[in-house]
Amino acid sequence: MPIEQTLSMIKPDGVARGLIGDVIGRFEKHGLKIRAMKMLHLSLEQARAFYAVHKERPFFDSLTTFMSSGPIVAMILEGNNAIQVNRDLMGATDYRKAAPGTIRGDFAQQTGRNIIHGSDSPESAKREIELFRAQGKL
């Protein structure tokens, strides 16, 4: 199993609802190590840059407005197959389809406000981590 790094963010709804400890505990229980972590508030411009891959999608404006609406917790996670482990822990993007025991299945209340973000591929992880590091965020 390859040791990988991935980016994960607890979104503003997760922070506001006091779920930081619950989410981090799940990562640690599944062998993911936190290599960097910071609570920060993304500007609208930073959120737009981060989610630029979705700029043509109909949800782009609402997503970036939401992601800049309050503090987030950004983390670099590391471990065996970290990207897939994180994706499995998060659950389906649509919380109604997320399995019980996943972060979204247990905590999310709206599809657009689904507690957590995680890189979906090695390429995305590299790009997302570099974006946060270039901005001095992690």
Instruction: Report yes or no: 103 and 90 within 8 Å, Cβ to Cβ.
Output: yes
Nearest-angstrom CA–CA distance, 105 and 95: 5
From 30, 41, 54, 117, active-site residue: 117
Concerning whether 117 is annotated as a catalytic residue, the answer is yes
CA distances in angstroms from 82 to 21, 31, 34, listed in the order given: 19, 9, 11
Identify the bridge partners of residue 6 per DSSP, sorted by sequence position: 77
Other Cβ atoms less than 10 A from the Cβ of 136: the count is 8
Catalytically active residues are: 117
